[in-house]
Amino acid sequence: MTETLLPPVRIGKAAVGALGMLSLSTGALESVVTPTLPLLQRELDMSPAEGALLSIVLLITGALVTPLAGKFGDRYGGKRILILLMAVVSVGGLVSALAPNLPVLLLGQVLQGAMVGALPLSFIVVRKNLPAGESKVAIGVVSGLFVGGGMVGTLMAGPVAEALSRHWMFALPTIAVIGATLLVHRLMPNDPPGRSDDAGIDWPGLLLLSGTLVTLMLVLALAPDLASRPLVLCALVVALAASVTGWVAVERRAAAPMIDLRMLARPAIWKACALTFVICLGTSMAVYLVPQLFDETGDGYGFGASATQIGFFLLPGAIAATLAGPLGGIGDRRFGSRAVVTAGVVLTAASLVALAAVHTEVWHLVVGKALIALANGLCVTAMMTSTATSVDRGDTGIATSLILVSRVLGYAVGGQLSGALLTAATPSGSDVAAESAYVTGFVIAGAVTASALLVTRTMDKGVKG
């Protein structure tokens, strides 16, 4: 049977504007946890390790949803899957808004993680319905509004949580997401489904990867409490090893694996994955520790900052991350990817070590966090560019999925390690972690990040323009 390809339906500015509003509202919803994490820990009686789990569970869901979203979008139509994912995100936002305790809030964040897969789908919809030149502009607008939404969420979360309640800081952006989703549904034309993938979906690989990530999070989150129960900890470690072994075996035999591990044999790919994991691990430790130190009320350290103040203190870092993308692209063209990644690694490691040594003034943390965010953005941009140009066009999606999993693992391990350090250094009956835990965390993060230089020196220089 011959498949008839219909010409795309040209979309107007209103449809692009609706996608932009959706991107802005999802960016705001995604970012409300970071500045208010200390407040959430107090209100829900969470340990630092549990707080770290809350801060990264959305990203884990996103890593699992994103490759499926692309396949389903091709099979059933990008708009249809986008609307379904945003319905899941809206439910997740409402669950988070109504959550009375940590387990329910974690469930809400798991559902909200569908937004990570929804953003690339919006790009696909735009590309199907606009000429190349106009689609680039539209994608730039949607991407920029997502980043802008992140800044809005960072700034509004604290004031809303303190003036109203933590429930409203989830509810308000969720209401905006629901409204924007309805506009997209009304204004965006349907895109025709593509050809079905005969190989189908790698469900066993997805389930085993989910089990691996969940077990890893449990091991890292519960390690401080399970130190006195080594048998339970050993059982979790064995379960983790079994999940990893099973996942690798399934992916190597699958006709269309969710993540093609054979590509890891390519030097450019395994180096990019190793660098992504190490750099994101170091960065995520700063992402978790800096807001905690702003909130801390120790003797001679910490600032007792409110959630509103923490949001303002984190804003320069969000701005630096926004600028890092275009700066990384310019640097890659002019100096090559190896130079940009090396500079980013050195800047990140130096900033982390500096934070370990000097953290007695607010500006120390503000500047250090901003430099780390800038350096991380430079590294990610250069590595993605280097990876995309080192494989065939048909392998770009596979290579990107490997980078995504490496990124998630780095953020997950770094965040949970930081939470475990603070949990272990908090005396029973106290809410104040020892200053040595922060120093140790920053030093470990700096040392791990610096180890990336062993890999960067073997990278190709990259193309200079």
CA angle 183, 189, 193 (to 5 degrees): 125
Residue 196 has a pLDDT of: 56
CA distances from 419 to 73, 144, 281, 354, 368 (A): 37, 31, 13, 20, 20
Residue 194 has a pLDDT of: 60
Residue 68 CA, chain-centre distance (Å), reads: 17
> What is the mean pLDDT for each group of 10 consecutive residues in the chain (465 residues)?
47 76 88 89 85 83 78 76 91 94 92 82 70 63 74 88 92 94 85 61 81 78 68 84 89 77 79 88 91 88 90 89 76 80 93 94 94 87 68 61 77 85 82 89 95 83 52
Residue 186 has a pLDDT of: 87
**Cβ-defined contacts of 384-388 (< 8 Å, 24+):** 385/328, 385/329, 385/332, 385/337, 385/462, 386/268, 386/272, 386/332, 386/337, 386/341, 386/459, 386/460, 386/462, 387/268, 387/269, 387/272
Residue 11 has a pLDDT of: 61
CA distances from 301 to 182, 256, 284, 360 (A): 48, 53, 21, 6
Residue 437 has a pLDDT of: 92
